[in-house]
Structure formats: C-alpha cells, structure tokens
Amino acid sequence: RRCGRYDEALFASMRDVGRALAITSVVLVLGFLVSLLSVMDSQAGFGVLLAFTISTALVADFLLMPVLLLVFKPFGPERPR
C-alpha cells in the first residue's frame, strides 16, 4: 500500500526480506541434511524430505508468489504513477 504499485512493492520486499529468507532456508536445509549421517534410515529419509520441502517452499516464494500477486492483485488496484 505504501508503494502503490505491485511491481515496486515486490522489488522492495525481495530486496529486504528475500536475502534473509534465502539465508534462513539454506541453513535449515543444511541442518536437516545432516541427518543423512544418521544410522537410522527413517531419520535420514525424514531429513531429506524436510530439506526438499523447504527448498521447494523457497523456490515457490521467489518464483510463484510474485506471479500470483501480479496476476490476482489481492490488495486492490494500483495507484497511477
């Protein structure tokens, strides 16, 4: 609402929050991949599943979410420049 335009708001949010989101996701993925060293196969599989899920969520946050916002414009119409 502050920017008035979806493309400007997306750029600003990705610049501010995108870096923290990427770093946090990478740390979580690496943390769960440590479970691959486990002797228990079920625990190793669970770690891989969680790492894959977090990676998929990160890709969706960076690629799918901006497209959905630009297409559906859930916060109302844009203001003219």
Is 70 in contact with 10 (CB distance < 8 Å)? yes
Dist. CA 55–CA 65, nearest whole Å: 15
Q: For residues 78 and 5, is the Cβ–Cβ distance under 8 A?
A: yes
- Over the stretch 1-12, which tens digit does the pLDDT of each residue have? 777 889 999 999
For the stretch 28-76, pLDDT in tens is: 999 999 999 999 999 999 999 999 999 999 999 999 999 999 999 988 8
Give the pLDDT score at 2: 78
Q: Which two tokens stand for residue 19?
A: 């870096």
The per-residue pLDDT for range 17-41, each reduced to its tens digit, is 999 999 999 999 999 999 999 999 9
User: Once rounded to an integer, what is the mean pLDDT over residues 12-18?
Assistant: 91
The two structure tokens encoding residue 3: 């920017």
Residue type at 31 in one-letter notation: G
